[in-house]
Amino acid sequence: MQHKDKTPQAPEAWKPRLLAIFCNWCTYTAADLAGVSRMKYADNVRIVRVMCSGRVDPQFVLDAFARGADGVLIGGCHPGDCHYIEGNYKALRRSELLKRMLADMGIEPKRYRLEWISASEGDKVQRVINEMVTEIKALGPLDLPGRAKAWDEEVAELEGELKEKKGECANV
């Protein structure tokens, strides 16, 4: 919350947008289980299914933030249980450095999370999503598209100024 003053103000109707990328074999199945067991969790989450958490390229995470996600959650099988043997270790290795890099770029650590959730842990899906939504609500919107727009205003301003000048003096 140290950057609260700089965080875009949460409008009244703002609902955090959480992107979840779940592996087919464990976490997605767990989310399915949570669904059929009628476990309620926050409706702010959009779930994308990939075959393995090892398939989650850090480019996906940055892309999600750049397109307006307020948080990204990755779910994979517990260590030792990966359907492809090593995929979740790859996810973990990338994640450790990605977390540091995101922090260096000003994205609060709570906006990114990697969790091991097995196919039977529907309740963990429910708990993790609810926790993350609460934490992100406390942080406020990330609103990267809005910030990028604000950064570009200074260029647009100059364009306006030049057009004005051009009107005055045909030579510029």
Partner 1 sequence: MSKPKVAFYWCASCGGCEESIVDLAEDILGVVAAVDIVLWPVAMDFKRHHVEAMPDGSITATLLNGAIRTSEQEEMARLLRRKTQVLIAYGACAQSGGIPALANQFSREQILKYVYEDSPSTVNPEKTRPQTRFEEEGRVAELPEFRNVVRSLDQVVDVDYYLPGCPPTPKVLKGALEALLSGKLPPKGTILSPDTATCMDCPRLDSKPQDLAIEQFRRPHLTAMDPEKCFLAQGVPCMGSGTRGGCEAQCPKGNMPCTGCFGPTSKVHDQGAKLLSALTSTLAAKDEAGINQALKGIPDPVGTFYRYGLAKSLLRRKVDLQ
Binding site for partner 1 (CB under 8 A): 3, 6-7, 54, 57-59, 61-63, 65-66, 79, 89-90, 92-94, 96-98, 100-101, 104-107, 142, 144, 147-148, 151-152, 154-155, 158-159, 162, 171-172
Q: Is 82 exposed, middle or buried (0-12, 13-18, 19+ CB in 10 A)?
A: buried
Q: What 3-state DSSP class applies to 80? A: coil
Supply the DSSP string of 6-19, one letter for each residue. GSPPPPTT----EE
Q: What is the dihedral of CA 146, 148, 154, 160, to 10 degrees?
A: -70
